[in-house]
Structure 1
Amino acid sequence: MNLILLAPHDLQDDHHAVVRDPRRLRHLLDVHHAKVGDELTLGVAGGKLGRGRLTHLDAEQALFRIDRLDQPPPAALPVHLVLALPRPRMLARSLEHVTALGVKHITLLHTRRVEKSYWQSPELRPEKIHQHLVLGLEQARDTRLPEVDLETRFKPFVEDRLPGLLEERRGLLAHPGMPHACPRGIDEPALLIIGPEGGFIPYEVERLLQAGCEGIHLGERILRVETAVTALLSRLF
């Protein structure tokens, strides 16, 4: 946790904040080994970053005096990530990784090779998704939460929503065997679409290409979804 991310209800006034949830308290006590008087990086969810001094810490609460909140969060990546819903454990890690990298728009999509049982996972509960997003923000010292949409049907997504998403974005379909290597260092808004373990089926690839996406690949190696996501975002931006 490289940032103490404060929710609006943590703020007592413009200069004081209190943290009471067990996760952040455990991290302050057991990982930071924080002590009264320590200066730490603070940020307000959706707002700015700054510094604050710890004025009290025990197992029940931590009190901070906010010295300043005057720094903007890191710039977001100009990308909307469409990710075929991974298996639950991989979903948790993927959400944290892409949030730390600066993705602000995420769509989780159902495809043929996504097991229907994945959509019943507790990891898709709003509070669990929020938890993973917050962990990503804390890692990267960011304050702006991504938006996460769930698309449980492939065909309606491609026919009804995808055309609008592609109006002002370059559509990139990452899939093994596509004709073009993943571009490097692009400077335009993009829609990046990544399939599930086992990839998209031919019908899905055809529909995505017909919709206006450009097929790209990362080479001959077949990567796990969480590895491919990180590699693609790093190479693109």
Structure 2
Amino acid sequence: MQGSFLFPATLPSPLAFFPLNLLLLDKRVSSLFLPKDDPRTVHLLGVLKVREGDEIDLAVRNGPKGKGMVSLPGEGAIKLEIRWLEPHPRDLHPVHLILGLARPQTCRKILEQASALGVERMAFFEAEKGEPSYAQSSLWQTHEWMERIDRGIEQSFSSFIPSCTVYSSLEETLASERTARDPRKVALDNYESPEPLSAVGIERGSPVLLALGPERGWSAAERELLRSVNFEFRHLGERVLRLETAAVAALGIVLASYWGEDSESR
């Protein structure tokens, strides 16, 4: 797979995704009809127990948020009359997450959680110690990866979508990460890290490249490549963690300075 760019792309339908804290739509509309068999209708009526006159939250992908007034026209359907709110600031953080391709069920969790936490970009790569068949899974060969990102965005009550790309190697991934600003580059490694990730001082607001290898870790050549482009190696303690756990824990440490900045701006 040669640098398969995965976002943005056209979604098959704005009705394809299961709602959480808000509904994501492809475009701004004044009303929306949800038939009885739409998964969102099932969730709104069966889980949230919405009633006539209730308001639910919506958003356009990479756009404004709004309020949808519920009406129940019958036959188990829902109609939403939408009132759009003023535009809100883009709330993605300048953190790019680089990950070796892992088992599809692991990548599903990372896609959702990293999106909910507000990373700007995710780049998955076919690692030397990874399983080649992972890139051919239905997660990446269908729109499912986009659904997972949407779930994370809906959960976080946001509307801005991170980009996501799959590359054929770490080298190709790093070549794509050239930015105007010089980012802090950190790679997690259980074996050759002198200090914990928490010891890395990240300047507030500065961009970060955070790299995690596949489930079997970095190869010697990948470690050398990371060193050649000035990545620092850090660890998350003595325990061996699942990749999805390590990704969330590392993002929590890296994003802490951004959360402080967000709270001061409110």
Structure 1 residue 157 displacement after superposition: 3.5
Aligned length: 231
Structure 1 residue 186 displacement after superposition: 4.3
Letter in structure 1 aligned against 2:186: L
Equivalence for 1:173? 187
Map residues 3-152 of structure 1 onto 2, 5 A cutoff. Answer: 3-8=22-27, 11-13=28-30, 16-20=31-35, 22-56=38-72, 61-70=77-86, 72=88, 75-152=91-168
> Greater CA deviation, 45-54 or 111-120?
45-54
Structure 1 residue 73 displacement after superposition: 6.1
- Runs ≥4 residues deviating over 6 A: none
Query: Is the alpha carbon distance of 1:118 and 1:35 closer, same or farther for their aligned partners in structure 2, counting shifts above 3 Å?
Result: same
TM-score of the superposition, structure 1-length normalised? 0.88
Structure 1 residue 6 displacement after superposition: 2.0
Unaligned runs of 5+ in 2: 1-19, 256-266
Map residues 157-236 of structure 1 onto 2, 5 A cutoff. Answer: 157-158=173-174, 160-162=175-177, 164-165=178-179, 168-177=182-191, 178-182=193-197, 183=200, 186-187=203-204, 188-236=206-254
Distance 2:106 2:187 in 1: 20
**Matched residue of 2:143: which SS?**
helix
For the 8 Å contact 1:79–1:105, the answer to whether it is kept is: yes
For the 8 Å contact 1:84–1:108, the answer to whether it is kept is: yes
Query: Is the alpha carbon distance of 1:74 and 1:57 closer, same or farther for their aligned partners in structure 2, counting shifts above 3 Å?
Result: farther
Unaligned runs of 5+ in 1: none
Please tell me the root mean square deviation across aligned C-alpha atoms, in Å.
Answer: 2.2
For the 8 Å contact 1:12–1:18, the answer to whether it is kept is: no
Structure 1 residue 165 displacement after superposition: 4.7
Distance 2:207 2:159 in 1: 21
For the 8 Å contact 1:185–1:236, the answer to whether it is kept is: yes
Deviation string, structure 1 residues 62-90 (Cα, Å, up to 9, x no partner): 32122342262672122011111110111
**Matched residue of 1:90: which SS?**
helix
For the 8 Å contact 2:22–2:59, the answer to whether it is kept is: yes
Structure 1 residue 92 displacement after superposition: 0.9
Seq. identity, %: 30
TM-score of the superposition, structure 2-length normalised? 0.79
Deviation string, structure 1 residues 119-170 (Cα, Å, up to 9, x no partner): 1100002511111111111100111111111101233444x335x2595211
Distance 1:172 1:229 in 2: 12
